[in-house]
Amino acid sequence: MTTTLDDLSANLPNGFHDAKLKRLLIDYAKREARFIADIWVGDISTEQREAYRLAEITLSGLLFWVSEPPATNQASDTAGGERIDIGSLSELKEKPSLNLPLVPDSAFVNWVFITEWNAFFYVAAQDAALKWLNESRVRTVQSANGSQIKFHIKDAVKYYSQGDEDRFFECFYTLPEYVNVRWDGSNLQLTLNTPISLESFKELVALFTRYGVPFGFLRTALPALSAEGKSYFTNSEGYWFAELFSEGDDPSPEQAI
């Protein structure tokens, strides 16, 4: 039985309204589109109003994915992803600005509106599936006095399949402190809110170790850890120690602040 994007939307508390598009992959050989989005699952009548949950949506039997050009050339702040909404093409009051191909009766056609672009994607496919990537969490809004930390990763990451690359980026998306990740094909910039939990720091160290990425740059984040976290990562018996602390450094928690 075919599942459509409208079916997925109907089973979400707020549909795809105010979701944050984080990553999009179109595989023409497989006729498949996959995108990762932070789905708004909050209830405006409760304290969980700003609850979001990360999901991967897969569209198979892809017939087309067509994009309007952005309506503005002004760069916008899209930390955390591009804000989107999704609906059926039949719901649009005005016809698409693009001439869309005809599709068979077995296919569905939807629009994806990108708020910051003030423009639409149009997509047609024959099946849709949603997979949750984490538990729901309340999104923390960064205050004017809040702080963030940015990591610049210049070493190339080697992937052995598309799924291998997807898992690498998904680890960032699931961190509670995640703000944004940008990649230009050779350099990667990761932005996180601080403080960083011990568990999140463990995940980063494990991820970079697994993918062979030198992670000495993470030492700059040690001051953002709790006292427990600093004590944990300055343990000279840990597999991460040699990478985090170069020869001659004093790795005591007090000096790491």
Average model confidence (pLDDT) for the chain?
82
Which one has a higher pLDDT value, 85 or 189?
Answer: 85
H/E run at residue 241:
helix 241-244
pLDDT of residue 184: 66
Q: What pTM was estimated for this model as a whole?
A: 0.63
pLDDT (average), residues 236-245? 86
Strands 19-27 and 82-88: antiparallel
Please choose, from the candidates 59, 52, 73, the residue with its C-alpha nearest in 3D space to the C-alpha of residue 4.
59
Q: Give the tens place of pLDDT for each residue, 29-73.
A: 999 999 999 898 888 777 677 788 889 999 999 999 999 998 876
Instruction: Report the sign of the C-alpha dihedral through residues 143, 149, 150, 156, in that order.
Output: negative
Q: What angle do CA 13, 56, 124 make, to 5 degrees?
A: 90
CA 169/CA 167 separation, integer angstroms: 6
pLDDT tens digit string along 195-210?
888 888 999 999 999 9
